[in-house]
Structure 1
Amino acid sequence: MKLRTLLFFISIFAFAQVNASKVDTVETHSTAMNKTIKAVIITPDKYDKNKQYPVVYLLHGYSGNYADWPKAEAVRQAPDLYNMIIVCADGGFGSWYWDSPVDPSYKYETYISKELVQWVDERYSTIKSAKGRAIAGLSMGGHGALYLAIKHPDVFGATGSMSGGVDFRPFPNNWEIAKRLGKYAAYPERWEQNTVINMLHLIEPKTLKIIIDCGTEDFFYEVNQKLHEALLYRNIQHDYIVRPGAHNWPYWENAVKYQLLFFHNFFQQK
């Protein structure tokens, strides 16, 4: 009985040590959209204001919010494991992280890449350059992470997508995309110009570090495979992970472990 009690307390202590990162829900402000937007900031247990930390921004999927990613154990552990800060951002309902040409209340490209980054840099001790910032996401957020990193190489030096909607043209009636860009038939140029697979020409050689992950049973698997092939054709270096799995949280909770390690290695480069 005493041994069992001792083992219990040892396991509790070990759990506390692993999950010692500080998780805070904060309120940020978007001038572009004139509203307050919540985010979750996860810092190392031994956060030191005299040190500068790299930051990973995580984006949620369609119909999700800022509170999704902190549920993943790997996300809560990473700040202590890799000595980094994680920001779980909110991208609204079906924003796809664009500045919508249709709805002026959806300017999430400006919010994430400018306003939120500035807000974090002003309040936390961060590495204030692309060498110290990465951005990743799942599904809609996978598209958003690649989209924002490609368009803002001065802000993000590494990016990752998990089950990302990296080419949404095959899905013209899904996920409120038409509400943000206008209907495909009416505004084809918007759809062509704002889908990730058509933006690869914007990537300067040997600059952006990219990791892509998608399950073979995912409805986005085919478009991810085509993105991989397009990156190979253009000789753009990237990591591409494929394994059995669907479009669900068990897959993403596993995938994010590899993404965070990838970013840690990026931050360690001299």
Structure 2
Amino acid sequence: MRAKGMSAVVLTAAVALSSVVGAPASAKGVKFKKAPDGARITAYKWVSKNKRQLDVTVKSPALGGQSVKVRLLLPRKWSMKSKRTWPIVYLYHGGHDNYTSWARNTDVETVASKYDAIVAMPEGANGSYTDWFNGGKGGTPKWESWHIREVIPLMQLNFRASKVRAAIGNSSGGQGAITYAARYSRQFKYAASLSGLLHILKPGVPTMLQYVNSGNGQDANAIWGDPVFDRGNWKLHNPYDLAAGLKGTKIFFSSGTTGRPGPGDPNVDPWDIGLISEAITGGTDQDFHKRLKQLKIPHIAHLYGDGRHNWPAWRREYKFVWPRMMAALHARKY
């Protein structure tokens, strides 16, 4: 996953970006560098008046040529012309959402603006943060390849991102953050999961995942395969089975465990899906916690008991972990 030539400064792109006011701009004629597999930036748009929030459109070979977006939060003194690079946080969203999720549901722009680091929020759709199995044939969509082999190189080649990186996400995005950190050992300084399933082979969990993914209008077996007959592929993407790969990475994960509402949660019935799913998630995180202790891998586990699978909990938890993540990246606080 180590892309080459990351230190190049593309001055033409710098001039173009500095002139964008708000309307989408084509990248035609702008010398953005491509990712090694040919993924390329085709458009960009500033979405904040202070020019610190930028949407980038990428044509992705990993996703079959689809055009997908990444939202960037840029630090105060960021400049494409700079000779320095910045540490970067890859912030992943949950299912039934998109790359704007964190910006819409939290004040992450304000929180991130206090630190000298880039934040990249790439599209993840309902892709489960994996290259789909597709009956053993592989092929598109390749969501892991999009995030790892396309987004990361594009950020380094074009936006002055360094190789000092962290991954964090909520729900399936949290599962993705921990999975990527384990599969690409020591490539992330910090990895954090907020209510992510961290043992997808825990008894009962595959059935739940198959049900949820079928409800998305997808062939559930296309993602990791059949949980019985293709169990080996599931293990290759299961944080619990991959845990040894997290040695050397700072780890944080959190979840509710009781199936009861927590602080700030809506008053819902006991059979509410948000309560049930969080209790299941919490059970997988408890197993993962035990696994890390067996492997003697340092980590912070915040298994807080009462709490629903929703934003009130995630807003609280991300504010707890953000300064710790910044410290791991050596990102200076303004």
Please give the TM-score of this superposition, normalised by the length of structure 1: 0.84
Q: Which residue of 2 aligns with 1:54?
A: 87
Identity of aligned residues (%): 22
Q: CA deviation at 1:20?
A: 5.9
Q: Quick one: distance in 1 between partners of 2:89 and 2:96?
A: 21
Q: Deviations over 1:146-198 (max 9, x none)?
A: 11111113532211100001122232233325331222233222223321111
Amino acid at match of 2:236: Q
Q: Does 1:32 align with 2:62?
A: yes
Q: Which residue of 1 aligns with 2:313?
A: 251
CA contact (8 A) 1:21 1:44 kept: no
Q: Quick one: distance in 1 between partners of 2:101 and 2:196?
A: 16
Q: Quick one: distance in 2 between partners of 1:140 and 1:66?
A: 13
Selected match of 2:179 from 133, 137, 147: 147
Q: Which residue of 2 aligns with 1:104?
A: 139
SS at match of 1:81: coil
Q: Quick one: distance in 1 between partners of 2:90 and 2:68?
A: 15
- Trace 1:1-270 onto structure 2 (pairs within 5 A): 22-33=52-63, 34-49=65-80, 50=82, 51-93=84-126, 95-102=127-134, 104-127=139-162, 129=163, 132-153=164-185, 155-169=187-201, 170-171=204-205, 172=207, 173-176=210-213, 177-204=220-247, 207-216=248-257, 217=259, 218-219=278-279, 220-243=281-304, 244-268=306-330
CA contact (8 A) 1:21 1:80 kept: no
Q: Quick one: distance in 2 between partners of 1:52 and 1:215?
A: 37
Q: Quick one: distance in 1 between partners of 2:222 and 2:125?
A: 13
Q: CA deviation at 1:72?
A: 3.9
Pair 201,44 (structure 1): closer, same or farther in 2 beyond 3 Å: closer
Amino acid at match of 1:202: G
Please give the TM-score of this superposition, normalised by the length of structure 2: 0.69
Q: Quick one: distance in 2 between partners of 1:226 and 1:75?
A: 30
- Paired positions, count: 246
Amino acid at match of 1:185: V
SS at match of 1:32: helix
Q: Quick one: distance in 1 between partners of 2:327 and 2:231?
A: 39
Amino acid at match of 1:254: R
Structure 1 residue ranges, 4+ long, deviating more than 3 angstroms after superposition: none
CA contact (8 A) 2:59 2:66 kept: yes
Q: CA deviation at 1:260?
A: 1.7
User: RMSD of the alignment, in Å?
Assistant: 2.1
Amino acid at match of 1:70: A
Pair 72,260 (structure 1): closer, same or farther in 2 beyond 3 Å: farther
Q: Which residue of 2 aligns with 1:7?
A: none
* Higher helix content, 1 or 2: 1
Pair 104,179 (structure 1): closer, same or farther in 2 beyond 3 Å: same
Q: Quick one: distance in 2 between partners of 1:224 and 1:57?
A: 21
Q: Quick one: distance in 2 between partners of 1:250 and 1:161?
A: 15
